[in-house]
Amino acid sequence: MDGVTGDEAETADVDRESAADAMGSLADADRIAILLALRNGRTRRFADLQSAAGFEDSGRFNYHLDRLLGRFVAKTDGGYRLRAAGAKAVDLVTDERFGEPPEPVTLDLDADCPSCGARLRARYAEENVEVACIDCSTLVHYGYLPPRARRGRDVEALFEAYGKRLWRDFTLAHRGVCPACSGRTETRVERGSDHHLHFPAVSRCRDCGAEVATAVGLRLLADPAVVAFLADHGESVDDRPFWEFEFCIDDGDVAVASEKPFRVVVPIARDDETLRVTVDEAGSVVETARVRRR
């Protein structure tokens, strides 16, 4: 049967001509200056905005402002302010900076490789973070981090900030909100993976097609029973990046509990006690049990 599916379905409602025209409206340094002068929710009168954007000629300023009105800038009784698309354009400009990329940096992590047990190392280069083994090259994580994050942070603070941001993104995806577009995500625990995971939890966005795949254990860091169990053993999920919790990057101990319905058990061992977390096909916790070793 003929129809629009997959990537085509995700872009079928995009008016390409209008999109190209809108992007063309931004292709000017003077218009970027106007948008930046309105950032952070500012509303400015005509003369104030002209001055803040650095224009001496009011006619030239009015021409460029007119190209932004409607799509990126709104005119109100109080003056001019950014529309949602204008705010996103400003975010893109300030995130990317569009200058020379920051110098690559690395940090040896307090975490072990799930494949060989060697230390993991984080590397930030070309606007991406890679967490991988220094010995066997197992890739634990790879993701984007805008250059803005590098400003004003030392190396340790940079990767700490990245870990917190990623935890937010994973939690959003697991709870049905796409971290990329705020669209609708669905999560499934799957069998097999392209890398070291056996039972990855995969969240896919129904609207933009974005995909977030992690160890199923990583989706448990916000579960009350898991948080309480770790706290009882002196560990706070707020004080450590996710890669320092072994069950968040390794699923070698995860086992199938039942086939129909499909469920897996994630064991989290601390001292002489193990928390056994049973997770269904959607990645939701259905049961927890504490077991003490004899």
Q: Helix and strand tally (H, E) in the chain?
A: 9, 13
With the C-alpha atoms ordered 50, 55, 58, 61, is the resulting torsion angle positive or negative? negative
Question: What does the alpha-carbon distance between residue 76 and residue 131 come to, in Å, rounded to a whole number?
Answer: 47
- 189-192: list long-range contacts, CB under 8 Å, 24+ apart: 189/216, 189/262, 189/264, 189/279, 189/280, 189/281, 189/282, 189/283
Whether 129 contacts 164, CB under 8 Å: no
Question: Quick check: is 180 in a domain?
Answer: no
Question: Quick check: is 63 in a domain?
Answer: yes
Question: Quick check: is 70 in a domain?
Answer: yes
pLDDT of residue 39: 86
Residue segments in the chain with a per-residue pLDDT below the cut of 70: 1-15, 95-101, 193-195
3-state secondary structure of 232: helix
Q: Name the helix (H) or strand (E) containing 46.
A: helix 46-52
* Number of compact structural domains in the chain: 1
Domain range for 41 is 15-96
Question: Quick check: is 67 in a domain?
Answer: yes
Nearest by Cα to 212 from 247, 185, 250 = 185
Whether 243 contacts 141, CB under 8 Å: yes
pLDDT of residue 3: 35
Nearest by Cα to 127 from 108, 142, 111 = 142
Q: Which CATH number covers residue 89?
A: 1.10.10.10
Single pTM value for the model:
0.70
Question: Quick check: is 147 in a domain?
Answer: no
Question: Quick check: is 107 in a domain?
Answer: no
Question: Quick check: is 286 in a domain?
Answer: no
Question: Quick check: is 78 in a domain?
Answer: yes
